[in-house]
């Protein structure tokens, strides 16, 4: 255990990669693929250990890397995912196409962390810092606000410091979101979901385990509201089942090539139970074959497939045993 055996070998280069080394590695992997990493340096003619080659490929040479500055949307996503996942950089990276875990980790440590602190947010807990730790207003001055995970913000912060766009007909105001029952729990992970009433768009979250659930809540299943520790109004739902919901197990075709598969809820907004429909946007991903037998109840899947009509007061992507999921709706303060 412990150290990789190749680390003991002599005459292995360390440190920065030269352009020649990059070329050799790129050429080799382009032609033959990496296969077993420990054999790559020998086959590619490099005086490096396999581990070093792997890292160089993943973090620098891979052709699908995006590079360049992080967009505002990427930054917001990182903050939101970090609020749920903590320092699981590889899982966060899997949600940002073209970005590496190392890149995100560096960006977090050098930029986001600092800005969250300046905004009075503890980057570790994603909760407001204590009053005496907050910087003076003058100190927070010119830095643009960083997006804050919704589950951690107070209503005041929602209206003042979030860098979300203003609602328009194409970009409606997020109605609500969900909080996980506890960080690190797989029971419910949906805090990254903002639900525009008119045009909810979800992306399956690769890090979830067990499956993906899609559901729509009916206000009639609400058991009442309460105010959480951050002062955010929470709506509780008693019913273990939503009006329409289903659990779909992860499968390779869902996870690997189509991380960005989308599920839309679309339709005109009216206050009736008959004005919204599901549409599976990527049939190649969420094929019927790919849907598992663990649907919550008979009939619901058929309705979902055919684009059924419901009132999406709220929706969530969650995982695990549905019966253990406590779903909470957070009213948008705006």
Binding stretches for DNA (CB under 7 A): 1-7, 13-17, 36-38, 48, 50-52, 54-56, 59-60, 87-91, 101-103, 105-107, 109-111, 114
Give the nearer residue to DNA in terms of CB position, either 50 or 150. 50
Taking the complex as a whole, the smallest distance from the CB of residue 162 to DNA amounts, in Å, to 22
Residue with tokens 């273990």: 240
Give the nearer residue to DNA in terms of CB position, either 90 or 275. 90
- The long-range contacts involving 223-232, CB below 8 angstroms and separated by at least 24 positions, are 225/331, 228/179, 230/127, 230/128, 230/152, 230/153, 230/154, 231/154, 231/155, 231/156, 232/153, 232/154, 232/155, 232/330, 232/331, 232/333
Give the nearer residue to DNA in terms of CB position, either 114 or 164. 114
C-alpha 173, offset from chain centre: 20
- Report the alpha-carbon distance of residue 73 to residue 55 in Å, rounded: 26
Taking the complex as a whole, the smallest distance from the CB of residue 160 to DNA amounts, in Å, to 24
Give the nearer residue to DNA in terms of CB position, either 87 or 160. 87
Burial call 152-161: b when 16+ CB within 10 Å, e when fewer = bbbbebbeeb
Taking the complex as a whole, the smallest distance from the CB of residue 6 to DNA amounts, in Å, to 7
Give the nearer residue to DNA in terms of CB position, either 42 or 133. 42
- Report the alpha-carbon distance of residue 244 to residue 257 in Å, rounded: 27
Taking the complex as a whole, the smallest distance from the CB of residue 279 to DNA amounts, in Å, to 32
Taking the complex as a whole, the smallest distance from the CB of residue 205 to DNA amounts, in Å, to 15
Give the nearer residue to DNA in terms of CB position, either 17 or 248. 17
First to last CA, the chain: 54
Taking the complex as a whole, the smallest distance from the CB of residue 70 to DNA amounts, in Å, to 9
- Report the alpha-carbon distance of residue 85 to residue 79 in Å, rounded: 10
**Beta bridge pairs of residue 215:** 245, 316
């Amino acid at each position: 255990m412990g150290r990789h055996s190749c680390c003991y070998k002599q005459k292995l280069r360390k440190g920065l990669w030269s352009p020649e080394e990059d070329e050799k590695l790129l050429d080799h992997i382009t032609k033959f693929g990496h296969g077993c990493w420990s054999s790559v340096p020998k086959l590619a003619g490099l005086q490096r250990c396999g581990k070093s080659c792997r890292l160089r490929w993943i973090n620098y040479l891979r052709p699908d890397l995006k590079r360049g500055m992080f967009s505002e949307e990427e930054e917001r996503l990182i903050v939101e995912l970090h609020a749920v996942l903590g320092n699981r950089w590889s899982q966060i990276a899997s949600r940002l196409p073209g970005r590496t875990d190392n890149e995100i980790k560096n960006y977090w440590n050098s930029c986001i962390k600092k800005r969250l602190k300046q905004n009075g947010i503890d980057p570790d807990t994603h909760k407001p810092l204590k009053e005496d730790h907050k910087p003076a207003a003058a100190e927070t001055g010119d830095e643009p606000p960083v997006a804050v995970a919704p589950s951690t913000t107070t209503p005041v912060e929602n209206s003042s410091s979030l860098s979300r766009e203003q609602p328009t007909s194409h970009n409606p105001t997020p109605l609500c979101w969900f909080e996980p029952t506890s960080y690190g729990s797989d029971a419910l992970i949906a805090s990254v979901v903002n639900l525009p009433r008119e045009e909810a768009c979800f992306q399956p979250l690769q890090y979830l385990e067990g499956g993906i659930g899609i559901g729509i809540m009916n206000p009639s299943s609400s058991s009442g509201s309460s105010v959480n520790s951050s002062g955010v109004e929470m709506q509780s739902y008693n019913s273990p089942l939503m009006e329409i919901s289903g659990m779909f197990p992860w499968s390779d075709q869902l996870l690997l090539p189509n991380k960005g598969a989308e599920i839309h809820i679309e339709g005109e907004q009216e206050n009736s139970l008959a004005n919204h429909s599901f549409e599976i946007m990527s049939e190649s991903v969420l094929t019927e074959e790919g849907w598992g037998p663990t649907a919550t109840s008979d009939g619901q899947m058929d309705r979902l497939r055919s684009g059924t009509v419901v009132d999406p007061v709220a929706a969530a992507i969650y995982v695990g045993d549905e019966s253990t999921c406590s779903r909470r709706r957070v009213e948008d303060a705006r």
